[in-house]
Amino acid sequence: MSQTETILLILLGFSLGALIALFFGRFIWNLGLRFGARRMRKQVPSTVAGLQTERDQLRAEFAMLSQRLSARLEEAKLSAAEQMAEVTRHRNRVDMLVAEQAEKDRSLAALQGEAADAIRRTAQLEADLATANETIAVLQKDIAERNAIIAELQRTGQMPRPRIREDATTEERLRARIDHLTGLSRVAEATPTEPQLPMPAPADPALNEGLAKAERDTEDLRQELERLDAEWNRKLDELGQVPPEKASEVQPSAVANVISLAKRIRALKNDIAT
């Protein structure tokens, strides 16, 4: 067999195979069209009733979805309102806390001011207390001195009066009274005429009685001195032994001492009574 025949046989076989494949492909194509048309008929309604039913079903599904969305929207609105109310409550609470904190700050500032004032008052009171303690010490010292003076006055006031003879002259009686009052005069000179203590001293009845008696004796002595002075001047005038200008100078120191003693006794009595 020649080479040309071989090529022709190959071409003939290829042509037969292509023809068979063409017929087989057409058969498969038609079969696919049939299956596709059948599937489309199942999916797409073929009548108006089917279309209306499908439309009603879609409307019902849309209504349900709309209702669900509306319910969710209402829930969201309620939740938002509750959250806003909660936020408002929290905001009001925060405002109240801020106001309370401001009030507490003001109260704290006031308390700090009061504490500082109390500290200043405490320091002032401590200074006053120290001054009072010093004053008390001075007063106690003065009281001790006054008690010593009062004891001396009591001792002097309780001394018995000197005895005077019945046949003694007027000058002797006068000298005896002056000697008796000399002790009181010495104590009265050591006693201040004005009160130096802020607190009143207790009055002793015996001391008051002694002072009153001394004052009466001093007054009697002054009157007697004046009477004796007048009588002495009168006698001198009658006898003509002393000039009138010298007669008035008789015993001036004794009268002055008696008057001064009377004034001191009155001042001491007033001091003790107050």
How is the chain split into domains, by residue range?
A: 56-142, 158-273
The backbone torsions φ and ψ at residue 166, rounded to the nearest 5 degrees and listed phi first, read -70, -30
User: What is the distance of C-alpha 270 from the center of its chain?
Assistant: 46
For tokens 């009658």, the residue is 238
Query: DSSP state, 46?
Result: -
- Cα–Cα nearest to 234, from 248, 255, 253: 248
For tokens 């969710």, the residue is 72
Long-range contacts from 59-65, C-beta under 8 angstroms, 24+ separation = none
Which residues touch 207 (CB under 8 Å, ≥6 apart)? Answer: 150, 153, 154, 157, 272
What does the pLDDT profile of the chain (274 residues) look like in tens digits?
Answer: 577 888 888 888 888 888 898 888 888 999 988 888 887 777 665 666 677 788 888 999 999 999 999 999 999 999 999 999 999 999 999 999 999 999 999 999 999 999 999 899 998 988 888 888 888 888 888 778 877 776 776 565 544 555 555 555 655 665 666 665 565 555 555 555 444 444 444 445 655 666 676 667 667 766 766 776 676 667 666 665 444 444 444 445 544 554 555 555 555 555 545 5
pTM listed for this prediction: 0.30
